[in-house]
Amino acid sequence: MSTPDDGDPVQPPAKLPVPEEVAEAVRTLIRWAGDDPEREGLVDTPARVARAWKEYARGYEEDPSVHLSRTFEEVGGYDEIVLLKDIPFQSHCEHHMAPIIGKAHIAYLPRDRVVGISKLARVLHGFARRLQVQERLTAEVADCIWEHLQPQGVAVVIEASHACMTARGVGTPGVMMTTSRMMGTFRADERSRKEVLALMGC
């Protein structure tokens, strides 16, 4: 059976729930939390939560690689690192559906073409707006750029705070998790890796 971990796109459920089913689930959650879903302040909350989750999870509705289909070749022979640094993003952890808030640094070493720089952030958001673990998010962004841009190297570093650790459970605010994926030149050549990490400020 295929899973998101083996690189296959996530399959949508066979039968999508209708908004009223989602609202009923949220009413149950409110009762589980100990409150009354019928009181004035909460009465519209289930519908809001249903809409909000469509936003948090809108990455499921896109294939992030489409953002890399338009490339430019007239770059005056530029063949050094291209880095998009400190890209803020939000995601949700697949274990608790709690926010993951952080920033990503995405770099690549072009071979013969470059991509519009905003597209790297679009790829990140396309994968982040799903239920994630940070390791897979990092790998998916790097693999997508590697496969669709075919550059000489890709480096992705993500630093993020997980609300499931800060706001509950072990309760350790301020802890950041760092993950990285180095591919091609950045993996094989220590000097290139050091150069890109220095540019990222890591």
Ligand X SMILES: Nc1nc2c(ncn2[C@@H]2O[C@H](COP(=O)(O)OP(=O)(O)OP(=O)(O)O)[C@@H](O)[C@H]2O)c(=O)[nH]1
Give the footprint of ligand X on this chain (CB under 6 A): 93, 95, 133-135, 162, 164-165, 169-170
The answer to whether 136 contacts Zn ion (rule: CB under 5 A) is no
Query: Which among 40-48, 84-92, 95-103, 126-134 is the span making contact with Zn ion, rule CB under 5 A?
Result: 95-103
Binding partner selected for residue 134 from Zn ion, ligand X, none, CB under the kind-specific 5 to 8 Å limit = ligand X
**C-beta closer to ligand X: residue 29 or 164:** 164
**C-beta closer to ligand X: residue 134 or 180:** 134
Q: How far is the CB of 161 from ligand X (least distance, A)?
A: 10
Buried b (16+ CB within 10 A) or exposed e, 49-64: bbeeeeebeebeebeb
Distance CA 123, CA 183 (A): 17
Binding partner selected for residue 169 from ligand X, Zn ion, none, CB under the kind-specific 5 to 8 Å limit = ligand X
- Residues 146/126, Cβ–Cβ less than 8 Å: no
- Residues 104/158, Cβ–Cβ less than 8 Å: yes
Q: How far is the CB of 83 from Zn ion (least distance, A)?
A: 29
**C-beta closer to ligand X: residue 114 or 133:** 133
Q: Does 105 show up as a binding residue in the annotation?
A: no
Task: Give backbone dihedrals phi and psi of 175, rounded to 5 degrees, phi first.
Answer: -75, 130
67 is catalytic: no
Please list, in sequence order, all residues whose beta carbon lies within 8 angstroms of the beta carbon of residue 35, skipping any fewer than 6 positions away: 42
Q: Which residue has the tokens 């879903």?
A: 37
164 is catalytic: yes
Degrees to nearest 5, angle at CA 60 with 151 and 8? 55
125 is catalytic: no
Residue nearest to ligand X (CB): 169
Q: Does 202 show up as a binding residue in the annotation?
A: no
Q: Does 93 show up as a binding residue in the annotation?
A: yes
**C-beta closer to ligand X: residue 96 or 113:** 96
Residues in contact with Zn ion by CB under 5 A are 93, 95-96, 98, 164
List active site positions. 93-96, 134, 162, 164
